[in-house]
Structure 1
Amino acid sequence: MKIAYSWLKDYIKTDIAPEKIANILTQTGLEVGSIEKIEAIKGGLNGVVVGEVKECMPHPNSDHLNLTKVDVGSGDLLPIVCGAPNVATGQKVMVATVGTIFYDEDKEFVIKKAKLRGEPSEGMICSEAELGVGNDASGIMVLPQEAVIGTPAKEYFNLKDDYAIEIDLTPNRIDGASHIGVARDLAAFLKVHNEPTEYTKPSVADFHEATAMNPVKIVVDSSESCPRYAGISLDNITVKPSPDWLQNRLRTIGLTPINNVVDITNYVLFETGQPLHAFDRVQVGDTIQVKTLPEGTKFITLDGVERELNGEDLMICNSEKPMCIAGVFGGIESGVTDETTSIFLESAYFNPVQVRKTARRHALNTDASFRFERGVDPDITIYALKRATLLLQEITGATISSEIADYYPKKIKGATVTLALSQVERLTGVKIPKQKIIEILKALEITVTENRDDALLLEIPAYRVDVTREADVIEEILRIYGYDNIPVKSQVNSVLSYAKKPDTYQLKNTIGDYLSANGFNEIMNNSLTKSLYYQGIEEVVEGTEVLLKNPLSQDLDSMRRSLVFGGLESIAYNSNRKRSDLKFYEFGKTYHYFHDEDASHPVKNYSEFDKLAIFITGKTTEQSWNVTATVSDFYYLKAYTFNILEKLGINKESIVEEDFSNELYVEGLKLTIGKNIIGYLGQLKKQIVKVADVSQDVFYAEINWEVVLDLIKTHNIVFKPLAKYPEVRRDFALLLDEKITFKEVKKLIKQTERKLLKNIQLFDVYTGDKLPEGKKSYAVAVILQDENATLTDKQIDKVSQKLQRAFEKQLGASLR
């Protein structure tokens, strides 16, 4: 949620910088995610100054251009070629000097020295439209004669920069979802920390309701679904664009202005936190009914989508048909249009649970539903209605044509809490003076109804729906008192604990350190994902997807069954920001359920599995004067995967590699030890990476972390003394059929020589026109060693001859 700095200062008089305000708000629990500078006009018209046209004459080589000389206060007259028909000597004008930058959305236009039809031009005399201060583009903007030469345009037009403070609002702090709510917390903090200040709400003392000339009858079927519903009728409305100040404020917080009526309801929403809705009075008739409709009723919302209502959806209806989904979204027929001249303005309090279920059911997440489903202030309903009415009178010319109708059969009260002072000290770890506690509570509008020696009896305001217990009140005291004011003890106590081996946390840190040291970045993605990702790959992910019954959105409607798509989203995010050479790893859980088909009544067995995912894409090394850029490939991924397994204590010689391809991988390896599947690695298919908007090749490995841990449990590390005798290497250049793989060659060498063989390396592969058709050449190094004696030439020759015969007989190979 965004708060405009200048708007906030309407309610609390302070000159504190936006950065300091952000720090204070974060301390009080309204965490600020970012601060964005908002310029009234992009670029701030830097380089544009007031000038005076000293000379103006026709251009000798053009019938519509003029040669001017303009004084901008720099001491020299600037020659400027101007094509405006209204330019004349003696005018005060706005001049964009050389170097000024104008913006058209994301495009830049820089004023440079130039020659136009052979004459020099060192600037531009500007129109209203070019400056962005008006819409007139028919000629230059002529200023009053009292304008002072050399005055910057920013100063002349009194352009004020603003700041949008974005608050990452937590679900429990809906009281902070408005400018007044934020001002209230800020004022409380400043007051308690010796910067006395008050926050003030705009006065509605000028509101005077009319006698019931054009009343609307309100009928509410269930006070549980709608505890409070109020409204007022207004006539003589002129629907048109809002004034600049209102449009600018809405734009600052990321809203698009629509018309003055809708803009006012949005303005009051973000000012007070109370959602409002304006109905076209003609569509309302003489009765408003708040009720549910039969299951399956069709209703078209403002976005033009026809929706099928649930029997529990609360609706706002006239005497004949539904007009609005209560607290969520308006209907297409009852909204304000350019032809609207009278409205019925609604201000209400709806049951939060019912609104939340309806919003989720129809996948409608609006500013109104966001607040209603968390609990708005029931005591601000009428104030917000009056505030909007006064603005409508001022901006649209509206006249009030009814009394305020207010259905409120049972007042909603806040919680009452007994606060033991001893509990404050026990939970905070510091003795806060009683008077300071009372001061904080009053600043937060928590009423002390009884002051005892050892306790306080408190009445919580109704808008603080999250404060219901003693612990909640202590948290309120602490966040205003300041977490930074809680002293940190110099002594730290700890208890030694025994961890079973292998320690998964230690091993994760070990592998994480290894990967990070080799240029990988750790990522942590949401366990919630979109079920659409898994369409087409159901056969290659374990179990069946776990769908959420009440998803936040269609993009977060299921639990992930693989880490692959979260990583691809991270790759897409970075690639879109010109960072395409990436190496990521992630430790995370995957979620599945399995049907027990053998049971008389099949049940769903939910399971979680720990996985380690590795992603490599783009170049592995940057091009330099002495290094050629290297592109990542399958073997680069395989090397890291096997290094990880070896670092965990798994002998790579015990791993069986099986080639495979499926709906996820173009080609890859399945790694197993016995019946245990360690994991998979390979290149992802194009259609898989495209689902996440990735266009480059991605190599992916997913290791079954729990399987690896189980294997480690049974693995004993045995120390062997370093060999005393040297290794011997013999190279074989083999001419083979193209179909024979190195895997077959390696397997044959191991079968032929078991006793002295230590290692096998493939160090060269050659194919080309110098070889017979259908042939290729492998250069293989065989490492031999006897741990008890030095190998003799006779032993070495014997092994070499045995290997050569095996190559010839079983592979049809010959030595080159």
Structure 2
Amino acid sequence: MKLSYNWLNEFVDLSGITPVELANLLTMKTCEVEGFEPFMDHMAKIPVALIEELTKHPDADKLKICKVNTGKETVQIVTGAANVELGKKFPAALVGVKLPDGREMTKAKLRGVESFGMLCSGGELGITQLDYAPAKIDGLMPLPDDWKVGAPLSDYFGAADVILDIDNKSITHRPDLWCHFGFAREIAALLGKPLKKNPEEATFKTQPAKLPKIEIEGRSAITYCGAELAGFKVQSSPLARQLRLLSVGQKPINNIVDISNSVLFEIGQPNHAFDRSKLGELVRVDYSKAKEKIALLDGTTHELPEGLVVIRDGSTPVALAGVMGGAGTETTAATEKLFLESATFHRSDIRKAVSKTGIRSDSSQRFEKAQNPGKAKAAIYRFASLLAEEQGGVTLSEIAEVSTEDYTKTQPIIVTNEFIDQKLGHIGNRADSNAAILKRLGFAVEEKGATLVVTPPAWRKWYDITIGEDLVEEIGRFIGYKEIAIEPALVPCETPRSRNGVRELEHGLRDLSANHLHLTEVLNYAFHSENDLKADEFFCTASEAMRMQNSLHSDMAFLRISPLAGLLRSIQANYREEGNTRLFEIEKLMLPPENATLARREAYFYAGALTSEAEPALVAQEVGAIVSTILASCGLMRHDQVFTNEAHGIFNPGRSGTAGTKDKKIFRFGEIHPKILAEFGIKTRVWYFDALIENLLALKVENPTYRPPFAQPAVDFDLTLVMPKRGEFTALKAAAGVVQPLVRRDLDKTVLVSFEHVSTFTGGNLKENEKAVSVRAVWRNPTRTLASDEIKKLQDGLILKMQKAGFSLR
């Protein structure tokens, strides 16, 4: 979410608080501020300029020389704009000004004539998204004749601002913070400053009117308020309002839509303006019928499932409640009277509507978190006030309200100071007591000795502050967690009674995969679509997959039955940026029970997928080596591993296999079939392997036998080889020959036991398409120390192998 520093400053005095200090304060005590950046700061440096002289360029037919009065001086500017005109006013970016596209104005010569800046178009000013016709002209942006020469554009478009970018995840639990006033109230409490004004206390003179009857079916809404507004004209909003909305990511439309959005971003209360002439005499909130259709403002038409909350004009649905208005009752330039809706819906109903339709809006974002119904009337008053500031003669009817519950009641929370201090830990000298801190944050506190009876404010009671631990968090963040002393926990130091073999194996596999096999771990959703189920039915058939009753999205309706779909999506998202993508994942599947009397079985898996620009045969060899290394790490020695060529539906015919023991197949691996890759939008080869953790765990030797270290030293040999820049280490490894473990210690046989990557270098005297790779080869004879002539022969033989494979010695 984006926050305007200037907008916040309207509600709380931020003088003396820089954007950096504000961002740090919020990050340490409220939520994460991901960053901040200036907005339209160039507008304060660009003056209204008057063209006082206009002559043709002596050496260019399309260029003109302008004498431009900037208020402080007259400067010469050369322009090629066709619509430049003597006596007219245009924006002038002078030397030193930096435009939104990054260009900085400098003194220049255009065909021999000096120019000291540039006359600007709306595009060059970055304001073409405004509902302002001059900004959209293909040429210079003409300015009104009554604008003062020399005045900065910020006088008319609004002051330069700084926009703070809030991490939405860090305020999911704080519905009150999804607006500027909510943050201003929070900042005022943290700084100990009073609020300048409270837009939630807005009022407006009302008059009697005949309103449509409002009905609420069951619990389809908590409260619904409606009123009529008249005496206005639909037109463009003032430029300052438009630019303010643009600063928080909202495109201006017209004054009615813009004020509706301003109220939303200001106090967090969604609202909707219907054209009153297009509504009948009954507004009804109820639930959709199966296959009922509705056309929405975004131009889409949806066939609704049963049970979504809708707003009806009589019996016709005219809005998807809390999400988006309908296309048949929207305001237009001809609208003369509004029916303004401001309601509060149950967050579960809005989440259901978003999940079923796939539509998420600024309104639904706020309703999904739960909003305070007490703001519903305030939004209507605030809407009328803002409209009246623009146009005289605005009238507002009395507000009709229908509620299904008493939302004014608040359940107090009873805690003790001892409970709070015990949960928080030791804090040094504190300036405020627990009660004082809570009062600063807007809570009503009654002190009864060491007991506190705390009543949350209306804006914090909706799914936010409900238990004593919530109050502890409030006090802790207010004081600052860095003030809490770090002390060791006074608990007995005991050896765990039992080892968690699954967790130990997972940690070992992660270390091996990331640090030795050079794979990158990914975390994918544990949900499948119906197409995902059909992609791989190795562990479980699609018909046996578990469907969720309340899924996050229609494409996430089933619990995962295979790692394949998630890894392919990760490949699809990454392989275009990095041709050699190497991924692995350790998570769980939800599989059918072994028999009907048992619950479904959670089975952890280890799976990997990779792409490569190397020769397919080399990649296939590497995948086999990865599988073999993992099996060996789990206790299955390489000489006991059994590999078979075996076809499976997800793999390309003849390019797959299995690995395991002579009695059990543990891994399946191979190249994924192109038809499956096409379903995921992948146009490159993908190799894949997977196994269940329980099968790998069965290989673990509980009591490993001790093997003494070798008495004879190994021989190390480091060398640096030049290879293609896009080449892979596996090609070097293949050229070196078979790396063998020493199984028998009584045989007088010298073997290559290790061939490892040391470092990679590019640049220097290497060609652009080359790189130098340093490797370390290790030989060992278990029965004796190698003589120098034997070592020389091994080293020369390795160099010769590399040269024959096309890798030169550096």
Q: Normalising by structure 1, what TM-score?
A: 0.75
1:344 CA drift (Å): 0.7
1:208 CA drift (Å): 0.4
Distance 1:442 1:491, change over 3 A: closer
> 5 Å matches for 1:539-554?
539-544=537-542, 545-554=545-554
| Alignment partner of 1:405 is 2:400 | yes
Deviation readout 1:486-536 (Å, 9 max, x if unpaired): 211167656233364574444433443333334735434133344155254
> 5 Å matches for 1:303-314?
303-309=298-304, 312-314=307-309
Contact 2:90 2:120 in 1 (8 A): no
Identify the residue that residue 584 of structure 1 maps to in structure 2: 583
The worse-fitting range, judged by mean Cα deviation, of 411-420 and 319-328 is 319-328
| Alignment partner of 1:654 is 2:640 | yes
1:32 maps to amino acid: E
Match of 2:336 among 321, 341, 351: 341
1:61 CA drift (Å): 4.9
Identify the residue that residue 609 of structure 2 maps to in structure 1: 615
Counterpart-to-counterpart distance in 2, 1:616 and 1:185:
48
1:391 CA drift (Å): 1.7
Contact 2:33 2:164 in 1 (8 A): no
| Alignment partner of 1:517 is 2:523 | no
1:654 CA drift (Å): 1.4
Contact 2:47 2:93 in 1 (8 A): yes
| Alignment partner of 1:370 is 2:365 | yes
Identify the residue that residue 756 of structure 2 maps to in structure 1: none
State, as a whole percentage, how many aligned pairs show the same letter: 25
Counterpart-to-counterpart distance in 2, 1:170 and 1:684:
42
Q: CA RMSD in A?
A: 4.7
Match of 1:711 among 695, 699, 703: 699
Contact 1:219 1:289 in 2 (8 A): yes
Match of 1:526 among 524, 527, 536: 524
| Alignment partner of 1:425 is 2:443 | no
Contact 1:615 1:700 in 2 (8 A): yes
Unaligned runs of 5+ in 1: 621-628, 728-745, 747-752, 762-782, 791-816
2:438 maps to amino acid: L
Match of 2:667 among 668, 679, 682: 679
Counterpart-to-counterpart distance in 2, 1:219 and 1:617:
59
Distance 1:554 1:152, change over 3 A: same
1:452 CA drift (Å): 1.0
Distance 1:65 1:3, change over 3 A: closer
Match of 2:630 among 644, 666, 678: 644
1:318 CA drift (Å): 2.8
Deviation readout 1:575-631 (Å, 9 max, x if unpaired): 56x4444333332222333585xx5xxx785222222233333468xxxxxxxx999
Deviation readout 1:748-792 (Å, 9 max, x if unpaired): xxxxx9x9798999xxxxxxxxxxxxxxxxxxxxx999989x9xx
Counterpart-to-counterpart distance in 1, 2:58 and 2:714:
95
> 5 Å matches for 1:167-566?
167=167, 168-191=169-192, 196-198=193-195, 200-202=197-199, 207-212=204-209, 214-222=210-218, 224-292=219-287, 295-309=290-304, 312-395=307-390, 399-408=394-403, 410-412=405-407, 413-430=409-426, 436-448=433-445, 450-463=446-459, 464-465=461-462, 466-489=464-487, 493=491, 495-498=493-496, 500=498, 503-518=501-516, 520=518, 522-532=520-530, 534=532, 536-544=534-542, 545-566=545-566
1:651 CA drift (Å): 0.6
Distance 1:211 1:760, change over 3 A: same
> SS where residue 206 of structure 2 aligns?
coil
Contact 2:535 2:676 in 1 (8 A): no
Contact 1:451 1:457 in 2 (8 A): yes
Identify the residue that residue 23 of structure 1 maps to in structure 2: 24
> SS where residue 699 of structure 2 aligns?
helix
Contact 2:521 2:584 in 1 (8 A): yes
Identify the residue that residue 5 of structure 1 maps to in structure 2: 5
2:631 maps to amino acid: L
2:259 maps to amino acid: I
Contact 2:163 2:248 in 1 (8 A): no
Identify the residue that residue 734 of structure 2 maps to in structure 1: none
Contact 1:615 1:698 in 2 (8 A): yes
Contact 1:618 1:631 in 2 (8 A): no
Distance 1:641 1:458, change over 3 A: same
Identify the residue that residue 621 of structure 2 maps to in structure 1: 635
| Alignment partner of 1:59 is 2:54 | no
Contact 2:539 2:561 in 1 (8 A): yes
2:389 maps to amino acid: E
Distance 1:519 1:158, change over 3 A: farther
Distance 1:210 1:682, change over 3 A: same
Deviation readout 1:294-319 (Å, 9 max, x if unpaired): 55544434345554555543332233
Contact 1:227 1:410 in 2 (8 A): yes
2:610 maps to amino acid: I
1:74 CA drift (Å): 14
Counterpart-to-counterpart distance in 2, 1:564 and 1:392:
55
1:680 maps to amino acid: R
Contact 1:613 1:700 in 2 (8 A): yes
Contact 1:51 1:95 in 2 (8 A): no
Distance 1:31 1:583, change over 3 A: farther
Counterpart-to-counterpart distance in 2, 1:371 and 1:140:
38
Counterpart-to-counterpart distance in 2, 1:127 and 1:170:
40
Counterpart-to-counterpart distance in 2, 1:110 and 1:183:
35
1:485 CA drift (Å): 2.0
Contact 2:57 2:63 in 1 (8 A): yes
- Work out which of the two has the higher radius of gyration on C-alpha atoms and give 1 or 2: 1
1:688 CA drift (Å): 3.8
2:122 maps to amino acid: A
Counterpart-to-counterpart distance in 1, 2:4 and 2:275:
30
Contact 1:292 1:313 in 2 (8 A): yes
Contact 2:667 2:691 in 1 (8 A): yes
> SS where residue 606 of structure 2 aligns?
strand
| Alignment partner of 1:126 is 2:119 | yes
Q: Normalising by structure 2, what TM-score?
A: 0.76
> SS where residue 339 of structure 1 aligns?
coil
Contact 2:66 2:78 in 1 (8 A): yes
Distance 1:321 1:638, change over 3 A: same
Match of 1:669 among 657, 670, 680: 657
Identify the residue that residue 698 of structure 1 maps to in structure 2: 686
Identify the residue that residue 813 of structure 1 maps to in structure 2: none
> SS where residue 694 of structure 2 aligns?
helix
Deviation readout 1:142-169 (Å, 9 max, x if unpaired): 8999866xx9988998761421322324
